[in-house]
Chain A
Amino acid sequence: MNASKLLAAPAGFARRVFVWSWKELRERLPVVIGILVALPLLYVLAITTFATHLSTAPADKLELTLAGITLLLVWFGLAGDTLAGEVMGGGPSLVRRQPHGMLSLFVAKLLVLGAVTLGLAWYAQYVFSWTWQVLAREPLPASAARTFQDRLANGTNAGLMMTWLALPLLSWPLVTGAWIGRSGAASLAALLLVLGIGGGALAALHGVPWLLGWSWTETVRNVGLGLGALGVLAALASWTVGWSRQRRAFTPALVGALVVVVPTLAIGGWAYADYRAWSTLRVDQDLRIAEAYLGRDGQSIWAMVHKGVAYADGKPIGYYRDLPGAVGVYGSQRGTPVQAWRIDLVTHQIDVLNGGREGGLLPPPSTNSTHRVGSPEPLGPFPVMTLRSGSTDWETLDITWYDTASSTPVAQLPIFFRDGRVDALLTAGLREMATQRDAEGNRVWVRDGELEREGAERPPRTRIERVPTYANIPWVPIPGGWVHGVRGGVPAGRNFRSTITTVDGESYDLGQHAGIAHYFLDATTILERKIIKTEGGRRSGLVISDLRTGDELARYESPPWFAPSGIPGRLLRGLSVDGHMVLRLWDPITDQLEPVTWLGPSPDLAPEEQASLFGMQGPGGRQVLHLTAHPPHPRGASTRQVGMAVFDPVAKTARLVLDHCLDVRTYFGLDADDSIVAIEDCRRIVRHGPEVGQREVLFPFSDEGAGR
């Protein structure tokens, strides 16, 4: 058989589908044109009319509502009179008396309806975006402006929902229209079908991500495609059944309805049961705490919680991907749901954020101007919290901004977008948290990649705008400035070019450094661990250099252990004096030591032992220190934990809070009284200190019972 014969059948089918598609398009063109004209007017009317009645949270419902209206226009305008209208009537209709007419017409209807619906959906999303943009430029009443600017439809977030909703909903008019000859009845029947299964479908949208690890938008897409495929199959089946049996119109309709409704109810029922089982998190023995942050109000904990599976080593981890037994924050891999909660320690109220759907809590970059040496996790409290939701792709996330002083949502915008409210919130928060000061004593901080100074804050913008990409590069604080252009929030090692910006706004290239690790004494002085030549050979030493001139200021062949102090030009060291550990502020250039006063008892340190410290900066510039003791080199297995202390760089005092060290991944807050707040065993939030031995379980609350 030659190629032309092989291709004859599909070519013929394609020709038939083509001519029927042309006929379908031609018939529906007036309606399509009408929809194209009406949509922008509809959106303008809807947005300007209903904007004043919306608050931040239901902003996305406006988009869904408009998506639904758009689709209804498609239904009533296009999909009402489908196959049934072609075949109903007394005699054999035009399509029925053509060889292979029915199948090609059905396929053509499917294609045209699909293309038009998708095209309209995409058109609708850009019209929506354009309308929003245009109206956003116009002066609106204050109340309308507040809610109206909550969402800038950038064509991605809004359109995604519309597009994927359009696909499955398209199929239902085909299902009913296959039998019912009246366009109004077909559309009404389709609408009733969708309403009837709406509960199950909605539950599926909530339930499935928890089980299958899908994000909200992925679920909309996948379940929608599934429903759509089911609808198309049901339509095909109903067409075949109705055609072969030649009965009255509603007989195949009833048969087909059973085909559609029974599996739909089954899916819906399963999804609902799944949703109930997985998404209702209670404070019980199965509750796990993955991450937590202290709120500015002093009584709120913003936590990521999940159910069941504990982490492999019993410790929460900030970013869980690729870790065995870990939970994907955005539903990436594992099955247990991860919810964002706000826990009020005073009222014992628990607010489940984001409707219980996927969402990740995180303080925004640069909120806490801290040393992030030793751990990438900052210490709270934080005045600003963000909830990231809506997508597994970080570039299309939605961000809800919270003021943790009042625990209220301030704005919800797509990622990388800011408006005046977010500007004001960030400025206030960063100013409060700032520990760096310029030569005049003004606080200095970094907001969205640019320095900002107390008394010279940038005014809040007047409309929604996208921040530059460089705003997302973290600025790592060092005494007297910041290093930016680094990877992972920790100053990177060898061969990595970065920039230093001082508090006075001076910037210069860090240059390339081949050291294994480096620290900054201040904005112009770098300490590098290097292999240096000595009389005895080569050793791992410490070299201190001026970054601007390259001059070597000091070197140590056997450098002591030290930790950042938060004070420019000074480091912290631990020494053994009379069997106790004393802390000293150390100038590594002059090798001078300055005493630090212990508030309360000091830990023990034998004369032969050496102390090593590393610190994490908390609010107000205080350092949380991990103290360990070990014999001289090598450290080996005899390192012992001494405890954890809080160093105050202003008063130059230290307080021992714990007689052991917590895993750096478990503690997340430093309270005003130097007590340390931590996650314990993934199940509890506890406060340690301020005195050694003091431990208080903050959550679960005592009246919950379980989990203590």
Chain B
Amino acid sequence: MNDQGIRIEGLAAGYGSRDVLHGVDLDVPQGTTTVLLGRNGTGKSTLLKACLGVLKPKSGSVRVLGLDPLRRRAEVLTHVGYVPDKPDVYPWMRPRDLFRLLKAHHPRWSDVRARELCERLEVPRSTRFKALSRGQGMRAMLAAALVPDPEVLLLDEPFGGVDIAAREDLLRGVLRVLDGATRTVLVTTHDLDIASRIADRVAVLDGGRVVREGPLDDFVGDQGAERALRDLLVDLPAREAAQEVVA
């Protein structure tokens, strides 16, 4: 395994006859936090699936820490943490039950680290997931992803579908764990504000391709560029509906 983060070249992938990604090139340097921006349905989750090796590309290549996640999936998953857009754990489980389940799969699991992360992220370990708030549940998923100390962390729209308070709650948690860490992080979202607070780099996904990529500074500060980006990120139907309201 080398020191590379995530390297994607010419990735084309989809579901059946429907292609979602049409040749994506993306480089996530080691130790950086990259936010992948894009509207709903542009293929952000699809790209993450390809990084996890759960989706077979139609063409192109994906390398995570220099490894092909399709061919060396188990090895890749040992070094990759993943946070879904909502807790996808069995509702009857408690966070401590989840940790027990995951511990058997990750040789680098540490109970000490699990306790520390739960304290930092304020995760109630003995409350069932179905009784946790959305924010608590997401923090629990974040903790579960981080306990094995992965070199790569993937977060798939973790802030979507939560209210502002929960979003801020989660965001603080994310910032807490990212602070000072040297892992490679790829976060997908359609929220530029989130990107501005956590990203080192930003990539924009549109039409199945990365249309723009670069350091965060290239996207914020320049009002024109930022407005254009915001326009790009807002769903066209929602935008038209908003315009109708305004009208």
Report which A residues bind B (CB closer than 8 A).
12, 15-16, 18-20, 23, 26-27, 89-94, 96-101, 244, 246-248
The answer to whether B52 and A97 have CB atoms under 8 Å apart is yes
Which chain B residue has the least Cβ–Cβ distance from A245? B56
Distance in Å: Cβ of B42 to nearest Cβ of chain A: 14
Residue of A19, A89, A247 near B104 (CB, 8 A) is A19
CA gap between A101 and B104 in the complex, in Å: 10
Note all chain B residues with C-beta closer than 8 A to A26: 92
The answer to whether A99 and B101 have CB atoms under 8 Å apart is no
Residue of A23, A90, A93, A94 near B45 (CB, 8 A) is A90
Distance in Å: Cβ of A83 to nearest Cβ of chain B: 14
Distance in Å: Cβ of A102 to nearest Cβ of chain B: 10
The answer to whether A19 and B100 have CB atoms under 8 Å apart is yes
Which chain B residue has the least Cβ–Cβ distance from A91? B84
Which chain A residue has the least Cβ–Cβ distance from B103? A19
Contacts A/B (CB < 8 Å), 11 sampled: A12-B107, A16-B105, A18-B104, A19-B103, A23-B93, A26-B92, A90-B45, A91-B45, A94-B88, A97-B80, A246-B56
Segment of B71-79, B168-176, B209-217 engaged in the interface with chain A: B71-79
The answer to whether A99 and B85 have CB atoms under 8 Å apart is no
The answer to whether A91 and B77 have CB atoms under 8 Å apart is no
Against A, the Cβ 8 Å flags (1 = close, 0 = not) of B104-138 are: 11110000000000000000000000000000000
The answer to whether B52 and A92 have CB atoms under 8 Å apart is yes
CA gap between A74 and B77 in the complex, in Å: 35
The answer to whether A99 and B52 have CB atoms under 8 Å apart is no
CA gap between A379 and B38 in the complex, in Å: 96
CA gap between A97 and B192 in the complex, in Å: 28
B151 at the interface (CB under 8 A from A): no
The answer to whether B105 and A91 have CB atoms under 8 Å apart is no
Note all chain B residues with C-beta closer than 8 A to A97: 52, 54, 77, 80, 82
Which B20-57 residues sit within 8 Å CB-CB of chain A?
A: 45, 48-49, 52, 54-56
Which B196-236 residues sit within 8 Å CB-CB of chain A?
A: none
B241 at the interface (CB under 8 A from A): no
The answer to whether A99 and B106 have CB atoms under 8 Å apart is yes
CA gap between A146 and B77 in the complex, in Å: 66
Closest A-B pairs by Cβ, 8 of them: A99-B74, A99-B77, A98-B105, A92-B54, A15-B104, A19-B104, A16-B104, A99-B78
Question: Known contacts being A26-B92, A27-B92, A97-B54, is A92 close to B82, with CB within 8 Å?
Answer: yes
Which chain A residue has the least Cβ–Cβ distance from B77? A99
CA gap between A90 and B77 in the complex, in Å: 19
Extra pairs beyond A92-B54, A99-B74, A248-B16 (6, CB < 8 Å): A12-B107, A23-B101, A91-B84, A92-B82, A97-B52, A99-B75
CA gap between A16 and B49 in the complex, in Å: 23
B156 at the interface (CB under 8 A from A): yes
Note all chain B residues with C-beta closer than 8 A to A244: 56
Distance in Å: Cβ of B34 to nearest Cβ of chain A: 19
Question: Known contacts being A19-B100, A92-B52, is A101 close to B88, with CB within 8 Å?
Answer: no
CA gap between A100 and B90 in the complex, in Å: 19
Distance in Å: Cβ of A72 to nearest Cβ of chain B: 25
Distance in Å: Cβ of A91 to nearest Cβ of chain B: 5
B89 at the interface (CB under 8 A from A): yes
Which chain A residue has the least Cβ–Cβ distance from B145? A97
Distance in Å: Cβ of A74 to nearest Cβ of chain B: 21
CA gap between A20 and B82 in the complex, in Å: 20
Distance in Å: Cβ of A202 to nearest Cβ of chain B: 40
Note all chain A residues with C-beta closer than 8 A to B100: 19
Note all chain A residues with C-beta closer than 8 A to B73: 99
The answer to whether A98 and B84 have CB atoms under 8 Å apart is no
The answer to whether B105 and A99 have CB atoms under 8 Å apart is yes
Note all chain B residues with C-beta closer than 8 A to A18: 104
CA gap between A308 and B11 in the complex, in Å: 70
The answer to whether B88 and A91 have CB atoms under 8 Å apart is yes
Note all chain B residues with C-beta closer than 8 A to A93: 88
Note all chain B residues with C-beta closer than 8 A to A246: 15, 55-56
Note all chain B residues with C-beta closer than 8 A to A99: 73-75, 77-78, 105-106
Note all chain A residues with C-beta closer than 8 A to B106: 98-99
B177 at the interface (CB under 8 A from A): no
Which chain A residue has the least Cβ–Cβ distance from B87? A94
Distance in Å: Cβ of A453 to nearest Cβ of chain B: 70
B194 at the interface (CB under 8 A from A): no
Note all chain A residues with C-beta closer than 8 A to B89: 94
B102 at the interface (CB under 8 A from A): yes
Note all chain A residues with C-beta closer than 8 A to B75: 99
The answer to whether B101 and A91 have CB atoms under 8 Å apart is no
Distance in Å: Cβ of A33 to nearest Cβ of chain B: 15
CA gap between A221 and B211 in the complex, in Å: 64
Which chain A residue has the least Cβ–Cβ distance from B157? A91
Which chain B residue has the least Cβ–Cβ distance from A93? B88
Against A, the Cβ 8 Å flags (1 = close, 0 = not) of B3-24 are: 0000000000001100000000
CA gap between A169 and B73 in the complex, in Å: 34
CA gap between A92 and B102 in the complex, in Å: 15
Which chain B residue has the least Cβ–Cβ distance from A97? B82
The answer to whether A98 and B77 have CB atoms under 8 Å apart is yes
The answer to whether B84 and A23 have CB atoms under 8 Å apart is no
Which chain B residue has the least Cβ–Cβ distance from A30? B92
Distance in Å: Cβ of B216 to nearest Cβ of chain A: 26
Q: Which of B15, B77, B89 has the most CB of A within 10 A?
A: B77
CA gap between A12 and B106 in the complex, in Å: 10
Question: Known contacts being A91-B45, A91-B156, A94-B88, is A101 close to B16, with CB within 8 Å?
Answer: no
Note all chain A residues with C-beta closer than 8 A to B55: 246
CA gap between A23 and B102 in the complex, in Å: 12
Note all chain A residues with C-beta closer than 8 A to B85: 91
Note all chain B residues with C-beta closer than 8 A to A98: 77, 102, 105-106
Question: Known contacts being A91-B156, A246-B55, is A19 close to B74, with CB within 8 Å?
Answer: no
Note all chain B residues with C-beta closer than 8 A to A100: 74, 105
Which chain B residue has the least Cβ–Cβ distance from A248? B16
Q: Which of A15, A99, A248 has the most CB of B within 10 A?
A: A99
CA gap between A200 and B90 in the complex, in Å: 40
CA gap between A20 and B105 in the complex, in Å: 11
CA gap between A569 and B105 in the complex, in Å: 88
